[in-house]
Amino acid sequence: IAGTTLVLIASHWMFMWVGLELSMLAMIPLMTYSNNPRSTEAATKYFLTQATASMILLLAILNNTSNSGQWNIIQPEDMLSQYLFLVALGMKLGLAPFHFWVPEVTQGIPIKSGLILLTWQKLAPISIMYQLSPYLNKNMMITMALMSILLGGWGGLNQMQTRKIMAYSSIAHMGWMSAIVTYNPPMMMLNLFIYIALTMTMFLALNYLSAKSTSTLSMAWNTNATLTSILLITLMSLGGLPPLTGFLPKWVIIQELISNHNILVSLIMAMAALLNLYFYLRLTYNSALTLFPTPNNMKFSWRMNKQKSVWPISPLLMMSCMS
């Protein structure tokens, strides 16, 4: 929290860089608290990738400072600094083609750690991108955004693990935010807050159900119908199905891009969104429409059993449903 807060309030390049490092180093113990080899491997991959991104970011800061003569966060003076900033922030956020670490790391860590990785850890890099938005190269941002949306959709099609599906979903959503940041930065922040609310709802529901794969999810209706219903609504909202909340930012982003004469880009993004919607609907089908022949299907014993409280995710559910 301290590292992210330092980045949000920093007006000095080095304070901003130190805040990113604090946030990254604090995340590693949260990844390894389960004390198993997969968590250790995931934490190592995360550290190496983020350390590389931090090195590139520091190089961009030093290059920009040597040209401008000051350490305040101002416009990057040359193209090299701009490209280095984009590469570093792309690695931090998991934008394509620097997305390779996101699915593997998310799959190897506990669900609660995955929630923090895909939500809170995005705030600091996105705040930097927000500050630099008027000076970022639009063509490079659009290219990275389209690659992220397409690869996020294609990568999630054949996945059976829910954490990997959420990781590819994160890549695609980061692509939508990157596409709009140079045209309408406040719209990117609106998209970010909606994404965080939906992702929190999804991860909390998966954690309550202990659903780590689609096969486990297919039995969820038998064990907890209320949570499964929440899960279904959140999945459809994440996919951008109208009139749910997730549809709103996609619709406004496409309108903004069309108004800036990016019609072809908008068309590709709208078609790529169908890939994400497909695997969200597939999860919905697995969890609600394929009930295995168990005694629960006949006796409805879930109505009699004491269920886990779902009050912590009730506000998030309302945000998922309301457009």
In this predicted model, which residue has the larger pLDDT, 33 or 93?
93
What amino acid is encoded at 155 in this protein? G
**Predicted pLDDT at 181:** 92
pLDDT tens digits for 43-77?
999 999 999 999 999 998 888 888 777 777 667 76
**Average pLDDT for residues 271-290, to the nearest whole number?**
80
**Predicted pLDDT at 322:** 55
Burial of 189 (0-12, 13-18, 19+ CB in 10 A): middle
Query: Alpha-carbon distance 262 to 278, whole Å?
Result: 25
Kindly indicate the confidence band of residue 307, based on its pLDDT and cuts at 50, 70 and 90: low
**Average pLDDT for residues 101-122, to the nearest whole number?**
92
pLDDT tens digits for 215-235?
777 777 777 777 777 788 888
pTM of the model: 0.87
pLDDT tens digits for 158-191?
888 889 999 999 999 999 999 999 899 999 999 9
**Predicted pLDDT at 302:** 44
146 has pLDDT over 90? yes
